[in-house]
């Protein structure tokens, strides 16, 4: 069977009426930048990029050297193409406009440059998550934060890249979720799974059990019932998986089903949740929904939320549709 490269796939999508020339070129730039991040990640200790950077990000979290490097790679790669008006990153307090020396386009790019970076030093899969929005009509020359504050339903594309045993790009343009594998010998992403589908039912769940004592009562009951197995109200055994790298956990769910949960707990209640709506929850929700899954805060659809701040956090339940709906019922019936 003839290999279909990312470039060919995006070109065919555009001809079918999905996306634009600028969007195609933007996604190719992001993919090239992620290949560079993958190379740096793959060198590990040989590249001198392991360990702490000695700085904190906007959330007050210690940055890894690769956090900083990955952020710079994505910013530099997207500065000059003419497809973007501005970028926003989990690692930066404010959006970064395209430099005045370059033309500005009609899209906005948001990204988590290196999700799961706490796992870098122990050689566990990490990744990049990104989301693309159209810049609102009638915009001024300068880009405001408010232009980024669009609900997830307004995304025109979203994706993630997993840097693991193989480097995978998972992408949606709003009609299906597709998986590409990096052929390192030729340097191209090749389509290896078209229209990925998440099984509706599952017997696997992913959650950080160390936070159990801080969870809300509905979450406590939900997990207690999962752990009760065949003898409990769910009447079947569940397996737990937890990588602590969202891209790795979500990709497992995309591949074989499951539910990923990062619920609200008393430690993070004041922040509204753990995961960032704009950089993690919305793009992952878009990808999962396009694969037939569901994504909820526990009390409503993630992508229906109207963002209130660039670094807003939310609870997250996503994955197999029936199981996400079950988890949501526990919270809504409380």
Rounded to whole angstroms, the Cα distance separating 40 from 47 reads 7
Q: What does the alpha-carbon distance between residue 259 and residue 281 come to, in Å, rounded to a whole number?
A: 14
For the record, the structure tokens of 235 come out as 């009447």
Task: Give the separation between CA 254 and CA 248, rounded to whole angstroms.
Answer: 10
Nearest alpha-carbon partner for 193 in 320, 296, 290, 114: 290
Planar angle of CA 288, 293, 298, nearest 5 degrees: 95
Annotated binding site for substrate: 115-118, 208, 274
- What does the block give as tokens for 65? 């050297």
Q: Could you tell me which residues are annotated as the binding site?
A: 90, 112, 114-118, 208, 274, 280
Show the tokens assigned to 121: 């030093």
Residue pair 315/263 in contact (Cβ under 8 Å)? The answer is: yes
Please choose, from the candidates 136, 196, 187, 134, the residue with its C-alpha nearest in 3D space to the C-alpha of residue 160.
196
Binding residues for Mg(2+): 90, 112, 114-115, 280
């Amino acid at each position: 069977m003839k290999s279909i490269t990312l470039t060919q796939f995006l070109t065919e999508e555009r001809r079918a009426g999905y996306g634009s020339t600028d969007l195609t070129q933007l996604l190719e730039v992001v993919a090239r930048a992620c290949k560079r991040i993958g190379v740096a990640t793959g060198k590990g200790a040989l590249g001198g990029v392991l360990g702490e950077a000695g700085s904190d990000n906007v959330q007050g979290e210690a940055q890894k050297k690769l956090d900083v490097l990955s952020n710079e790679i994505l910013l530099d790669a997207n500065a000059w193409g003419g497809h973007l008006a501005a970028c926003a990153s989990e690692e930066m307090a404010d959006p970064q406009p395209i430099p005045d020396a370059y033309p500005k386009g009609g899209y906005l790019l948001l990204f988590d440059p290196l999700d799961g970076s706490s796992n870098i030093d122990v050689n566990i899969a990490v990744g990049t998550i990104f989301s693309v929005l159209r810049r609102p009509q009638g915009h001024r020359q300068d880009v405001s934060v408010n232009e980024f504050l669009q609900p997830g339903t307004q995304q025109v594309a979203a994706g993630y890249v997993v840097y693991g045993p193989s480097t995978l790009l998972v992408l949606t343009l709003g009609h299906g979720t597709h998986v590409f594998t990096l052929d390192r010998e030729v340097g191209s992403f090749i389509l290896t799974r078209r229209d990925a589908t998440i099984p509706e039912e599952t017997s696997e769940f992913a959650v950080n059990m160390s936070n159990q004592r801080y969870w809300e009562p509905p979450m406590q009951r939900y997990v207690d019932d999962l752990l009760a197995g065949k003898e409990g109200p769910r009447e079947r055994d569940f397996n737990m998986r937890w990588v602590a790298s969202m891209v790795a956990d979500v990709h497992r769910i995309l591949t074989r089903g499951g539910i990923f949960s990062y619920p609200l707990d008393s430690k993070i209640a004041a922040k509204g949740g753990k995961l960032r709506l704009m950089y993690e929850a919305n793009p992952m929700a878009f990808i999962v929904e396009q694969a037939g899954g569901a994504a909820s805060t526990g009390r409503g659809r993630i992508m229906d939320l109207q963002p209130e701040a660039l670094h807003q956090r939310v609870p997250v339940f996503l994955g197999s549709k029936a199981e996400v709906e079950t988890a949501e019922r526990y919270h809504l019936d409380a």
